[in-house]
Amino acid sequence: MKRCILIAIFAIIAITPAVSQGPAKKPSLMVVPARTWCQENNFMVEYDNMGQKMLIPDYQKAFDTSNELHLVVAKIGQMMSDRGFDLRLMSSALQSLQNEATEEMMMSSKDGGAGVEESPIDKLRKTAKADIWLEVYWLKNIGLKTSLTFNLSGVDAYTDEQIANCQGTGQPSYASEVPVLLEECVTMHLDNFNEQLLNKFNDWFENGRQIKLQIKRWSDAEYDLESEFDGEELGFIIEDWVGANTVKGQFTTDNATENMMVFSNVRIPMVNESGTAIDARRWVRGLTKMLRDKYGITTKIMTKGLGQATIVIGGK
């Protein structure tokens, strides 16, 4: 009998570490006003995208002007933080961008400013480094009683893909404070919304998250993507490296010529061996290091946001 009890005790001890590992890691979030809300409230700014005029949300003006926005962002942030999510503050990211812009004005680029055009939103995503943007829209319906209509979308900060959504209208209430109305109508939808976020996040850990990769060459480079190194064309050397360093070898070669290669659906690991989160820039550093160390090929990395990288071969 004593022997049976001891065996049972040892069995419990053996499984205890697996049970007590703690909750699974959750994605980092940043709450932002939806584009539609910014349009309706005249918080848009014109952006010159390589000669093409585009309207994008002016988040800085929105936060500087709208007290209601601060209250909504704080309430959504609190609700998600209470559920164990890592929250990144847009106001802090905007301030960091302002500081960086000031520093850049006092510096000159060693390559004369060559680079991929980035929108202010691309730069904001790189600064905030949130996995998912929570885009929130709300509208007060005012009558004898007040209700709130809302839409909450979870957007992959790397690809702009919508990965979760909930929406609805709360019950009419005599309360008029937006945070109170928001909490009342969002709470009933939040568990399902969070489940959508976590399912996608778990998929990223298992199958990798998507980025886009382009390979180009400087016009004066002494070699192109059809040049041979150790009997193998450079384009195939790069393609083999991508296949070996993606999760389960998942990627698509959309285009391949002597001057350019385009890869989409490139599934990269969420973290590296040391546990550091990986974005497109960190991941492609491995490719540029291989090209430099093994073949003496000089490259330049240019990025847009967290999920797009371009490598230009033949110089910095």
pLDDT tens per residue, range 156-174: 999 999 999 999 998 888 8
pLDDT of residue 175: 73
Tell me: pLDDT of 103 over 90.
no
Mean pLDDT over 249-267 rounds to 97
pLDDT of residue 116: 61
pLDDT of residue 26: 86
pLDDT of residue 142: 82
Q: How confident is the model at residue 298 (pLDDT cuts 50, 70, 90)?
A: very high
Return the domain boundaries, the chain. 28-104+117-205, 208-313
Tell me: pLDDT of 108 over 90.
no
pLDDT tens per residue, range 128-144: 999 999 999 999 888 77
Measured between alpha carbons, how far is 99 from 1 in angstroms, rounded to an integer? 71
CATH number of 28-104+117-205: 3.40.50
pLDDT of residue 5: 40
pLDDT tens per residue, range 39-64: 999 999 998 877 888 899 999 999 99
